[in-house]
Amino acid sequence: MRVSVDPDRCVSAGQCVMLAPDVFDQDDDGIVTLLQAEPPAELHTVVRQTASLCPVRLIQITE
């Protein structure tokens, strides 16, 4: 799995950080930052959940 984000579209909702804090973080303005572009297998399910729950669907996953 490879993860990418488009921070320019982030609305700082924070669901990604609450669900997968090992993969996503927020900067001082609340904008998403990616901690792991290739998360380990045990995180794949939760990363898929973040992609579907992000209100602006900016989390892209390549399997």
Structural contact between residues 14 and 28, judged by C-beta atoms closer than 8 angstroms: no
Query: Of 11 and 35, which has the nearer Cβ to ligand SF4?
Result: 11
Least distance to ligand SF4, CB of residue 30, Å: 7
H or E, element range at 51: helix 44-53
Q: Identify the bridge partners of residue 4 per DSSP, sorted by sequence position.
A: 60
Query: Of 5 and 47, which has the nearer Cβ to ligand SF4?
Result: 5
Least distance to ligand SF4, CB of residue 40, Å: 20
SS3 55: coil
Least distance to ligand SF4, CB of residue 63, Å: 19
